[in-house]
């Protein structure tokens, strides 16, 4: 995290503020575009009509979990950030700030959530499940990758599943002893975890994604990225198996 912390410090000197989550989202968009097999979901089938199949998405939409209080109760607000494969850091941070504002729960983006909350629980669950059955609508409902951070608390690591093929879990950034050029020195480190749906990708592919994400964050660059494709879904039917052979 040395490079990122230096970039954050330089930004603060010029009056800008970037959260660690913004860098994680920035890197996640680039990495999942390079690993389309992880930017996917196992779509359910219809009994007697169609078998479950893997759906790959052509755009990266993150579902960011935010700690909120609504009507006196602590709850989780899931904010969607589309187009991460081509969004720059400033754009990502602006979206995060919008969703973290005190009036976030009243934003038009959460109108569907408010409507579900007003429905009886059985009906709300049915409506939500129905929306998720259509893979082309799924990015606008649940995103294509989930991101959760507990870095604001003294938490190093945790494991959460956000309903997507890949969920990224970020802990706190703290100085720890590391070895560089044969010498022990202090450096800012963050424990980054990844949980994955074994029906969509296997352990080897998940390890590739996590390794690429680590390298991308360590070599942070806010330069231009390739044009986005709008988060549309591309349907691909697997060749007979949907489970992995490695752990």
Tens of pLDDT along 49-61?
Answer: 778 889 899 999 9
Query: What pLDDT is stored for residue 235 in this prediction?
Result: 38
Task: Give the residue ranges of the chain where pLDDT is below 70.
Answer: 70-71, 105, 108, 110-117, 119, 124-125, 127-132, 223-247
Rounded to the nearest angstrom, the gap between the alpha carbon of residue 130 and the centroid of all alpha carbons in its chain is: 23
Burial, 106: exposed, middle or buried (Cβ in 10 Å; 0-12, 13-18, 19+)?
A: exposed
Rounded CA-CA distance 61/230 in Å is 9
Query: What pLDDT is stored for residue 122 in this prediction?
Result: 75
The H or E element containing residue 40 is: strand 40-43
Q: What are residue 174's DSSP bridge partners? A: 189
Query: What pLDDT is stored for residue 114 in this prediction?
Result: 60
Rounded CA-CA distance 165/43 in Å is 11
Radius of gyration of the chain (CA): 19
Instruction: Give me the domains of the chain, ranges plus CATH numbers.
Output: 2-235 (3.30.559.10)
């Amino acid at each position: 995290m040395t490079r990122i912390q230096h970039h954050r410090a330089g930004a603060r000197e010029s009056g800008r503020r970037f959260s660690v989550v913004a860098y994680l989202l920035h890197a996640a968009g680039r990495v999942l575009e390079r690993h389309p097999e992880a930017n996917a979901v196992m779509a359910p089938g219809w009994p007697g009509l169609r078998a479950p199949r893997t759906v790959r998405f052509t755009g990266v939409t993150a579902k960011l979990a935010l700690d909120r209080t609504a009507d006196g109760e602590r709850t989780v607000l899931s904010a969607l950030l589309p187009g991460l494969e081509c969004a720059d850091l400033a754009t990502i941070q602006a979206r995060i700030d919008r969703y973290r504002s005190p009036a976030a729960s009243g934003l038009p983006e959460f109108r569907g959530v408010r409507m579900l909350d007003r429905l009886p629980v059985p009906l709300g669950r049915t409506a939500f499940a129905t929306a998720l059955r259509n893979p082309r609508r799924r990015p606008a409902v649940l995103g294509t990758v989930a991101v959760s951070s507990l870095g604001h608390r003294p938490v190093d690591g945790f494991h959460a599943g956000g309903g997507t093929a890949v969920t990224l879990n970020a802990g706190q950034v703290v100085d720890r002893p590391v070895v560089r050029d044969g010498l022990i020195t202090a450096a800012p480190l963050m424990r980054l975890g990844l949980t994955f749906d074994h029906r969509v990708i296997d352990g080897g592919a998940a390890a590739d994604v996590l390794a690429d994400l680590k390298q991308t964050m360590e070599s942070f660059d806010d330069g231009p990225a390739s044009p986005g494709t709008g988060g549309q879904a591309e349907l691909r039917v697997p060749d007979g198996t949907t489970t992995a052979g490695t752990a």
